[in-house]
Structure 1
Amino acid sequence: MTTSVEKRNHTKFCEFHGEVDEDEGTEGPMIIEAEIEGHCIHRMYVDGGSASEILYEHRFNRLRLEIKNQLVSATTPLIGFSGEIIWPIGKIQLLVRIGDEDHSASAWMNFVVVRSPSPYNGIIRRPGVRKLQAVSSTSHGMLKLLVEG
């Protein structure tokens, strides 16, 4: 959707997201929707400081059996924010697509599957965003993707 320059409200970032507080920006974590191996997965957290792409067990269990069978063992533990040690269930390489049918970017990412309570289904870290050739804007709470055309 485009709006002529004369009709644009300069306090809005775009028509969809509404007004942007110039002093505050967007608060909270950057949460996106991703298509992973044909599954639409909501509540993927984009984390610039995480060491690994994470897929939580509660979401992994909902993947198709032929995808789940690709899980291999992982021998390296993860260290949580408070120093707790989390032993992964395994690791798996999955194709991640961000965007819509006309404008999207895809990349293979190595996910560590963990059993841990989380409000998110997974975490995509900074190298994963780089693989997608995306630019994250924390002030706008969105990703900008390089797409054809």
Structure 2
Amino acid sequence: MEVRLALSFSDEDKVGTLQLHDNALVIILRIGGYDMKRVLVDQGSDAKIMYPDLFKGLKLKPNDLACYDSPLIGFDGKIVFSKGQIKLHVQAGLEVVEVNFIVVDTYSPYTVIVARS
């Protein structure tokens, strides 16, 4: 059996702290061999989303994408259609995993959104 380490916090970790806000967890991840800033960890989603800035920055082309034809619902409640999906290596600490990113052509202050199971 393989044991995977996870970054997590318990209620005991909150003792002595003020919880005035429910701030987003924004981190840096190594994606496709490059350190990417502004990575949003979304605990309420299973989708991994890539935005145009990263797609272009990695010099990826439309023919690098596999088909993905399911629409998504954006933060504003509007339907967003994907350009496709792409599998890239993502490194967090010493662990490297392959992640299927759904590529969308819409604005976001984040480079990607990753899910946390």
Q: TM-score range by the shorter chain?
A: 0.7 to 0.9
Counterpart amino acid of 1:116?
T
Query: For 1:121, which of 99, 111, 114 is the aligned residue?
Result: 111
Quote the offset at 1:32 in angstroms. Answer: 0.8
Q: What is the TM-score normalised by the length of structure 1?
A: 0.61
Instruction: Encode CA deviations 1:68-91: one digit per residue, 9 max, x unaligned.
Output: 642122211101233311000110
Counterpart amino acid of 1:36?
I
**Counterpart of 2:36?**
41
Structure 2 residue 90 is matched with structure 1 residue 96: yes
Q: C-alpha separation between the residues in 1 aligned to 2:109 and 2:34?
A: 18
CA change 1:83–1:114 in 2 (3 A) is same
Counterpart amino acid of 2:33?
G
RMSD of aligned alpha carbons? 2.4
Quote the offset at 1:28 in angstroms. Answer: 1.6
Structure 2 residue 76 is matched with structure 1 residue 76: no
Quote the offset at 1:26 in angstroms. Answer: 7.2
Quote the offset at 1:105 in angstroms. Answer: 1.4
Q: What is the TM-score normalised by the length of structure 2?
A: 0.76
Higher relative contact order (CA 8 A, sep 6+): 2
Instruction: Encode CA deviations 1:49-98: one digit per residue, 9 max, x unaligned.
Output: 12310010121111034x76421222111012333110001100111001
Q: In the comparison of the two structures, how many residue pairs are matched?
A: 104
Q: C-alpha separation between the residues in 2 aligned to 1:64 and 1:84?
A: 28
What's the secondary structure of 1:59's corresponding residue? helix
What's the secondary structure of 2:82's corresponding residue? coil
Q: Which ranges of 4 or more aligned residues in structure 1 deviate by more than 4 Å? A: none
Structure 2 residue 23 is matched with structure 1 residue 23: no
Fraction of identical pairs, as percent:
35
Q: Which has the larger radius of gyration?
A: 1
Unpaired stretches in structure 2, ≥5 consecutive residues: 1-12
What's the secondary structure of 2:69's corresponding residue? coil
Q: C-alpha separation between the residues in 1 aligned to 2:62 and 2:33?
A: 13
Counterpart amino acid of 1:90?
G
**Counterpart of 1:107?**
97
**Counterpart of 1:59?**
54
Contact 1:94–1:110 (Cα < 8 Å) also in 2? yes
